[in-house]
Amino acid sequence: MRDSELLIYLHDYHKYKVGTPKKVNPKFRGVSQQILNFKDPDHRLHRQAVDKFYSEIESKLTAEITPFQNFSLAIVPSHERNVTSAAMEEICRSLATSHKNMHYHGNPLVRTRTIPKLATGGDRSLFNHLASLDTHEHIISLKFPYVILDDIVTSGNSLAACKAKIEQAGASILKVLAIGKTVDE
């Protein structure tokens, strides 16, 4: 299966600011704003965004993958060392509790060193991601293939690096699901 066949995304994501000089993007509203609310645990609409995207992720996974196919869940870590989205972890725990074929025993992926955010001009090359990611040997499972979850995919390098790290550990990848895919504008 080609990597492009593995990727599922739920929504187009429009950046808040675009152009030179940077101006507020008129297409940034609705789902794009909700994705940022999801990423910000202090935002007043964070809970609403978590509930919305849990429902959408659950619907997409149950539509794409037969209930007889067992799989484990993994999350693309934050750009910060040892940080994983608490909202994504909540979604994974809830999916595993609600569906017998979905398994989550903690995130098998870890960012071992902070890398600068792409939004602030950081190097988010595949090489840099590979050099800053690892797997938790005591968490990764070889029993079932993985579905990797991410909030926003832009270049695809963080997902590619996570996929490579899981495969290097001996596990396989079933699907990769992102809430939003950045639209070039």
Domain positions in the chain are: 3-182
Q: Determine the Cα–Cα distance for residues 47 and 34; give it in Å rounded to an integer.
A: 10
The reported pLDDT for the residue numbered 122 is 78
The reported pLDDT for the residue numbered 4 is 60
pLDDT digit string, tens, across residues 40-61: 999 999 999 999 999 999 999 9
Q: Side chain identity at 50, as an amino acid letter?
A: V
Q: Determine the Cα–Cα distance for residues 168 and 93; give it in Å rounded to an integer.
A: 25
pLDDT digit string, tens, across residues 162-185: 999 999 999 999 999 999 999 987
Residue 20: band (very low, low, confident or very high) from pLDDT cuts 50, 70, 90? confident
End-to-end CA distance of the chain: 30
The reported pLDDT for the residue numbered 171 is 95
Task: Record the tokens describing residue 58, joined without a space.
Answer: 């659950």
Q: Which of 87, 65, 72 is nearest to 179 (CA)?
A: 87
The alpha-helical segments, DSSP class H, found in 70-140 are 86-98, 126-132
The reported pLDDT for the residue numbered 1 is 39
Answer with the residue of higher pLDDT: 80 or 5: 80
pLDDT digit string, tens, across residues 92-146: 999 999 999 999 999 999 999 999 887 777 787 899 999 999 999 889 888 999 9
pTM score of the predicted model = 0.93
Q: Which fold has domain 3-182?
A: Rossmann fold (3.40.50)
Q: Determine the Cα–Cα distance for residues 185 and 177; give it in Å rounded to an integer.
A: 22
Phi, psi for 11 (deg, rounded to 5)? -145, 155
The reported pLDDT for the residue numbered 123 is 82
Contacts of 102 (CB under 8 A, 6+ apart): 61, 70, 71, 73, 95, 96, 147
